[in-house]
């Protein structure tokens, strides 16, 4: 019995890997964003506002390229209208790009509009995994401060700490975040528990009251 052919006209026994993002072509906006030309980026967006999330041949937007190149100024301009959650191939977001490249400034700019726990399609790596693997301590610290999960695991069952080689990064990933519990509130004791001053002290019991207590009455001494 012969092998079943998968896909028309394709090679036998092989299945094409599905794309995780639409593909387009490199535009002037992509080029200007990668090069860090913020003025040109503003000019292009003013003329072609719908091009902000256009894809290149690898499914990347202008924000992906600016994030990878560490162009913080351009990233700020693009974030005024771009979708920071879009994934390129393998669902890689601009935050993944910036985390891997090691630009803490760009990461900080992206965090407000990004999913800090976004995972790649094939490996399930988060931005924190990529930053840890590259030993980018400032980026790791920024991601942790934004709520990144240090216990997240890849398909290979690896945590970000498992991928880190830098002692500084490994220390960051092994220290649990300190939660701000707010100011300590000292509660006042109830009115009945407060100590009394001399004027408020109760009078001593009358002596005749003691004489009226039955010594055999156990409850009277409780």
Alpha carbon distance 220, 213 (integer Å)? 7
Q: Dmax of the chain from CA atoms?
A: 114
Alpha carbon distance 193, 215 (integer Å)? 30
Cα 200 → chain centroid? 58
Contacts of residue 199, defined as CB under 8 A and 6 or more positions apart, other chains included, come to none
Report residue 125 as tokens: 């790596």
Report residue 54 as tokens: 């256009």
For the chain, domain boundaries:
28-174
- Tell me, which fold does domain 28-174 have in CATH? 1.25.40
Q: pLDDT-derived band of residue 184, with 50, 70 and 90 as boundaries?
A: low
pLDDT in the model for residue 25? 85
- What is the rounded average pLDDT for all residues in the chain? 81
* pTM of the shown model: 0.71
Quick: pLDDT tens for 7-38: 333 444 444 444 456 777 899 999 999 999 99
Quick: pLDDT tens for 60-103: 999 999 999 999 999 999 999 999 999 999 999 999 999 999 99
CA dihedral 66, 68, 71, 75 (to 10 degrees): 50
């Amino acid at each position: 019995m012969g092998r079943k052919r998968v896909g028309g006209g394709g090679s036998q026994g092989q299945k094409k890997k599905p794309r995780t993002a639409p593909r387009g072509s490199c535009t002037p906006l992509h080029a200007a964003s990668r090069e860090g030309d913020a003025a040109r980026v503003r000019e292009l967006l003013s003329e072609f506002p719908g091009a902000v999330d256009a894809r290149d041949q690898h499914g990347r937007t202008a924000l992906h390229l600016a994030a990878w190149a560490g162009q913080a100024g351009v990233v700020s301009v693009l974030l005024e209208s771009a979708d920071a959650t879009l994934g390129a191939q393998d669902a890689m977001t601009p935050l993944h790009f910036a985390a891997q490249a090691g630009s803490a400034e760009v990461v900080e700019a992206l965090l407000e509009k990004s999913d800090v726990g976004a995972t790649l399609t094939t490996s399930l790596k988060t931005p924190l995994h990529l930053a840890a693997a590259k030993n980018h301590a400032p980026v790791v610290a920024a991601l942790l401060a934004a709520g990144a999960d240090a216990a997240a695991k890849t398909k290979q069952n690896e945590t970000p700490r498992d991928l880190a080689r830098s002692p500084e990064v490994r220390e960051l990933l092994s220290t649990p975040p300190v939660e701000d519990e707010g100011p300590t509130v000292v509660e006042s004791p109830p009115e009945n528990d407060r100590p009394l001053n001399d004027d408020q002290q109760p009078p001593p019991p009358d002596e005749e009251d003691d004489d009226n207590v039955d010594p055999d009455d156990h409850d009277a001494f409780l």
